[in-house]
Amino acid sequence: MRAGIIAKKIGMSNLFTSSGVNIPVTVLKVDECKVIERHEVNNSDSDKVTLGASEVKKINKSKKGYFDKKKSKPYKLVKEFFVEKSDELKSGDDITVDHFKEGQFIDISGISKGKGFSGVMKRHNFSGLRASHGVSAAHRSAGSTGQCQDPGKVFKGKKMAGQYGNTHKTLQSLQVVKVDPLNKIICLKGSTPGSRGSWMIIEDSIKKKEIKEIDVAAPAVQDKASKKEQKQNSKEEQ
């Protein structure tokens, strides 16, 4: 059991393996992730670690009192994690992208994109009513939502139109494709919930503990630069 990490979603890109396979990746940046405090949990084999990300200057009085009590700088996002007693994390430590290894599987959670008030066809993948005779201006409606006088009500949980998105989502067993400590960037295979600029919580995978190495080739930008150098050298030789 290890602490997770707080990262910001930059966007999506793609990487190529040495064999030429294209891998779509989500790019996340871990700019600042600091341990605010660590405290023991009663009757438990683990401790709790509080992490803060993205230092801020303006905060309200209640939050200022909390951070002053912890003798810490104020942060925009605060998250708690359980760690083992043997874990050496302590107050003031920084957690960087080196916390995860390439090929490792992780679980990631965040707030999904809000789509507003949506109908049943978009929200629940309903097929809609017939696009033929007998249907008048109700082609995208839900149809019947209940029975007759008995039970005389709509049951809870019935799939109907309403708010779509903007909920807490967790994706499990995503693979770490690339870790770049220099630029504080971590690349995950596939897509993740949330829009660009949203905050993500990354933790070790619960289901997959193994590490599968991925042979990622050098970025295409470097290849283009090397080609330009080769052209210039050939011109100079001529």
Give tens-digit pLDDT for 157-191: 999 999 999 999 999 999 999 888 888 899 999 99
Examine the pLDDT at 222 and tell me if it is beyond 70: no
Note the pLDDT of residue 218: 58
**In which band, very low, low, confident or very high, does the pLDDT at 210 lie, cut at 50, 70 and 90?**
confident
More confident position, 215 or 23? 23
**In which band, very low, low, confident or very high, does the pLDDT at 227 lie, cut at 50, 70 and 90?**
low
Contact 13, 186 (CB under 8 A): no
CA distances 48 to 2, 16, 37, 96, 186, Å, are 10, 39, 8, 19, 25
Note the pLDDT of residue 221: 44
More confident position, 16 or 40? 16
* Class (C level, CATH) for 5-126+160-237: mainly beta
Note the pLDDT of residue 80: 87
Helix (H) / strand (E) containing 18? none
Contact 110, 202 (CB under 8 A): no
Give tens-digit pLDDT for 38-72: 888 777 778 888 888 888 888 888 888 888 888 88
Examine the pLDDT at 133 and tell me if it is beyond 90: no
In sequence order, which residues have a C-beta less than 8 Å from that of residue 138 and are 6 or more positions away?
A: 129
**In which band, very low, low, confident or very high, does the pLDDT at 220 lie, cut at 50, 70 and 90?**
very low
Give CA–CA dist 193/12, Å, rounded.
Answer: 12
Examine the pLDDT at 124 and tell me if it is beyond 90: yes
In sequence order, which residues have a C-beta less than 8 Å from that of residue 222 and are 6 or more positions away?
A: none
Both tokens of 54, joined, read 């993205």
Strand 5-16, strand 199-204: pairing:
antiparallel
The alpha carbon torsion through 52, 53, 54, 59 (nearest 10 deg) reads: -30
In sequence order, which residues have a C-beta less than 8 Å from that of residue 46 and are 6 or more positions away?
A: 1, 82, 83, 84, 85
CA distances 74 to 32, 68, 215, Å, are 12, 8, 40
Note the pLDDT of residue 77: 86
